[in-house]
Structure formats: structure tokens, C-alpha cells
């Protein structure tokens, strides 16, 4: 019994077992060091990213300074673009960029949301849903110049009867008041919608997939139909993510270059008719920057790039604010 009491006594155990750091001090120290290193690496990457952003802005601003000094803010409202006389204005290109992007977003949002619902809900068998979502996402991997060539040889001839019908039927509307001869703002908006569809559909699908299944089950257990569950439970629950995906798709549309350049017609005249040719900021940059010789011409093109940069930044900030606002209202 004496031996058992000695074994059970506290003195028979190592005295440092009560110390929480016993035998793991070294590993905790290593982990702490790794945590500090990782934290500073992440902070450094964030600082470098912001620094590169400001550096890009500074370089673009310096190159655009001749045009900024000469035209000022009047550059934004001027419609003149006369290269031989060195008179430049940005309004036709700003207008074309915004109009084509809005058309693309209005077309891509409902289609992308429909694709997201079909590939995330049980409308189709599982063996069909995943390949369908994968095929749609593959559109994002197609080079824009290939899509532009497809637009020239396939999309424009395909849409020409529709554009003629819109003119004959709705020519009393300013949006369809002119006869189309092929390339137009309307075609550019549609080709942009095709290009941003994978972004819209994939993000919306991921948002719907992460919504807890309990919400679907609870809604249908209370007697709601499938469509009532979708429109009253799922979409309101995922609206912030869907809006965020829409804004990312809009940012892609604002900056698209080659495909739009090949189908929009490259006209620097503002027309309210969607059936007329137009132009965008990326398109005029692609068409003229390589051949620009005069410093003021280069400055005007860079000024356009600075405007596009500012518009894209504003869209991203607005998207972030909108997502936070919607998220706060849902709580």
C-alpha cells in the first residue's frame, strides 16, 4: 500500500506538468514566428498592390497632363475629335462605353440568373447541371478577338433581320429611329452580354449554392411552392452576392476592347439610336494609340484611359457600398 500511495502522490509526477508551456514552448514559439512572418507578408502584398495602383494612376495622369492642361473638364463634354487640327473631346466615347455596358448588363443579368437557378436547383438531373455550368463558364476562356470575328461573320448577319424589324416597327422611338446596316451599338451590347454572361452566371450560382438547404426545406414545409421559395426566400437571401456579381460583370463590360471594336462600327458621332454605329473608350484606344504621333493626341488618348479608370473605380466602389448596404438591411 505504501508503494501505491507513493505512486499516487503528486510528488511522484514531474513538477513541471502544471506548466501550460511544458514540452510545447518551442513549437508555440515557432508558430508565433510563422504567424508574424505571414502577417507581414500579407500586409506587404497589400501595400505593394495599393502602391502599384497609385503608380499606374500617376503615370497615366502624367501622360494625360498635356490634354488636361489644354482642354480641362471641357474634354468630358466636347463631341469633337479632329486629329489633324488637334481638337479632342471625350463625350462620344464615354456615351458609347456606358450605353453598350448597360445594354450588356440588362441582357446578361436575367439570363445569368436563370442559368444560375437551373444549374443550382433540381430542375435538371445532376449529371446535366454540372456540365452545363462548366460549358457556360468556358465562354470566359475564349479570346475576345475570336468572339469579335464570330460577331462579324455570324452575329451581325444573324441580327440584321432583327435590327431591320426593330427599325420598321419602332422607328417612332428614338432608340430605333435609324436603319441599321450591320455594325451598331446594339450588336456591341449583345456581344458584351455574351462575354460577361459567365461571370454573372458563375457568381450567382455560387451564391445560391451556399444558401443553407434548411431555408429551402423550411419554406416548402410551410406550404410554399418551388417558385415561391425561389423568389421569396432564395433570391432575397442571395441578393447582395448577386448584385456584387453584376457589378463585377459591369466592370468587365466597361473595359472590353477587341470584340467591341470589331462590331460597333467605330463612329465618333453621338446617336440616340442603338442601330447606329458608335464607339467606346477601349475601342478608340485600340484603334488610334499605336498611330498617335503628336504629344497632344497621345495625351488625349491617355486622358480617355484615365476617365475609363475613374469610371471603373467608381463602379467598384459603388458595388462595394451597395453590397454592404443590402447586407446590413438583411440583418
**Helices and strands, number each (H, E), in the chain:** 14, 2
- Return the C-alpha cell found at 143: 479570346
pLDDT of residue 251: 84
Q: Could you tell me if residue 242 is inside a domain?
A: yes
pLDDT digit string (tens) for 43-102?
999 999 989 989 988 999 998 999 999 988 889 988 888 888 888 989 999 999 999 999
- Number of domains the chain is built from: 1
**Residue 227 half-sphere exposure, CB side, CA atoms within 13 Å?**
1
**pLDDT for res 331:** 61
24/51 Cα distance (integer angstroms): 40
- 48 is a domain residue: no
Question: Cα(252)–Cα(319) distance, rounded to whole angstroms?
Answer: 13
> Which among 268, 271, 272, 269 is positioned nearest to 283, based on CA atoms?
268
The grid cell for 91 is 463625350
pLDDT of residue 3: 47
In a domain, residue 41? The reply is no
Which of 198, 187, 194 lies closest to 152, judged by CA?
187
Q: Of how many residues is the chain composed?
A: 331
Residue 179 lies in a domain: yes
Cβ proximity of 81 and 269 under 8 Å: no
In a domain, 145, yes or no: yes
Report the candidate in 313, 314, 299 with the shortest Cα–Cα distance to residue 87. Answer: 299
Asked if the structure places residue 87 within a domain, the reply is yes
Q: Which residues lie across from 81 on neighbouring strands? A: 88
What average pLDDT does the segment 264-270 reach?
89
C-alpha cell at 310: 475613374
Give the range of the structural domain holding residue 103, as residue numbers without chain letter.
Answer: 68-330
What's the CATH number where 176 sits? 1.10.3720.10
pTM (whole model) above 0.85: no
**Of the given ranges (147-156, 205-214, 278-287), which has the lowest mean pLDDT?**
205-214
Per residue in 187-229, pLDDT tens? 999 999 999 999 898 888 888 888 888 888 888 888 888 888 8
Lowest average pLDDT, out of 222-226, 259-263, 321-325, goes to 321-325
Residue 57 in any domain: the answer is no
Amino acid at each position: 500500500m505504501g508503494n501505491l500511495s507513493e505512486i499516487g502522490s503528486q510528488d511522484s509526477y514531474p513538477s513541471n506538468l502544471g506548466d501550460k508551456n511544458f514540452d510545447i514552448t518551442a513549437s508555440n514559439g515557432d508558430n508565433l514566428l510563422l504567424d508574424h512572418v505571414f502577417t507581414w507578408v500579407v500586409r506587404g502584398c497589400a501595400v505593394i498592390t495599393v502602391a502599384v495602383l497609385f503608380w499606374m494612376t500617376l503615370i497615366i495622369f502624367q501622360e494625360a497632363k498635356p490634354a488636361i492642361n489644354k482642354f480641362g473638364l471641357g474634354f468630358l463634354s466636347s463631341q469633337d475629335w479632329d486629329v489633324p487640327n488637334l481638337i479632342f473631346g471625350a463625350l462620344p466615347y464615354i456615351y458609347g462605353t456606358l450605353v453598350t455596358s448597360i445594354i450588356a448588363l440588362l441582357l446578361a443579368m436575367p439570363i445569368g440568373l436563370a442559368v444560375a437557378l437551373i444549374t443550382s436547383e433540381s430542375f435538371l438531373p445532376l449529371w446535366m447541371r454540372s456540365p452545363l455550368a462548366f460549358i457556360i463558364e468556358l465562354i470566359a476562356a475564349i479570346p475576345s478577338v475570336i468572339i469579335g470575328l464570330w460577331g462579324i461573320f455570324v452575329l451581325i448577319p444573324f441580327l440584321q433581320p432583327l435590327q431591320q424589324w426593330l427599325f420598321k416597327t419602332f422607328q417612332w422611338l428614338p432608340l430605333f429611329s435609324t436603319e441599321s446596316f450591320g455594325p451598331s451599338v446594339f450588336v456591341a451590347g449583345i456581344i458584351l452580354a455574351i462575354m460577361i454572361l459567365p461571370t454573372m452566371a458563375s457568381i450567382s450560382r455560387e451564391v445560391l449554392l451556399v444558401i443553407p438547404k434548411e431555408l429551402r426545406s423550411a419554406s416548402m414545409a410551410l406550404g410554399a411552392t418551388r417558385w415561391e421559395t425561389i423568389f421569396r426566400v432564395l433570391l432575397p437571401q442571395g441578393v447582395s452576392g448577386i448584385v456584387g456579381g453584376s457589378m463585377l460583370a459591369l466592370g468587365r463590360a466597361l473595359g472590353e476592347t477587341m470584340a467591341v471594336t470589331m462590331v460597333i462600327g467605330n463612329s465618333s458621332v453621338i446617336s440616340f439610336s442603338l442601330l447606329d454605329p458608335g464607339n467606346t473608350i477601349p475601342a478608340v484606344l485600340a484603334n488610334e494609340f499605336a498611330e498617335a504621333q503628336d504629344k497632344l493626341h497621345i495625351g488625349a488618348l491617355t486622358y480617355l484611359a484615365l476617365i475609363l479608370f475613374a469610371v471603373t473605380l467608381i463602379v467598384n466602389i459603388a458595388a462595394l457600398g451597395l453590397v454592404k448596404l443590402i447586407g446590413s438591411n438583411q440583418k
